[in-house]
């Protein structure tokens, strides 16, 4: 039986099965893929659009 991958929000730590993260935001910062849940994405939208690294949020 295959186990579904669980992904974690790189900002708040929220975890969800991969199938439920299709609406999450994905970015690449310093060559590293980062994922942000819907709530964090909405909260930090202006910083994301300004292409600020998450360390500045």
Q: Categorize the per-residue pLDDT at 55 as very low, low, confident or very high, splitting at 50, 70 and 90.
A: confident
Cα 54 from Cα 47, distance rounded (Å): 8
Query: Which residues lie closer than 8 Å to 54 by C-beta, 6 or more apart?
Result: 10, 11, 27, 29, 34, 36, 44, 47
Give pTM, 2 decimals: 0.77
Cα 6 from Cα 14, distance rounded (Å): 10
Domain boundaries, the chain: 6-56
Burial class (CB in 10 A: 0-12, 13-18, 19+), 16: middle
Q: What is the pLDDT of residue 18?
A: 95
**pLDDT(31) > 80:** yes
């Amino acid at each position: 039986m295959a186990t579904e991958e669980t992904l974690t929000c790189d900002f708040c730590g929220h975890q969800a099965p991969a199938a439920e993260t299709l609406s999450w935001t994905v970015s690449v910062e310093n060559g590293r893929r980062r994922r942000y849940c819907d709530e964090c994405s909405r909260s930090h939208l202006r910083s994301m659009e300004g292409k600020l690294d998450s360390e500045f949020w």
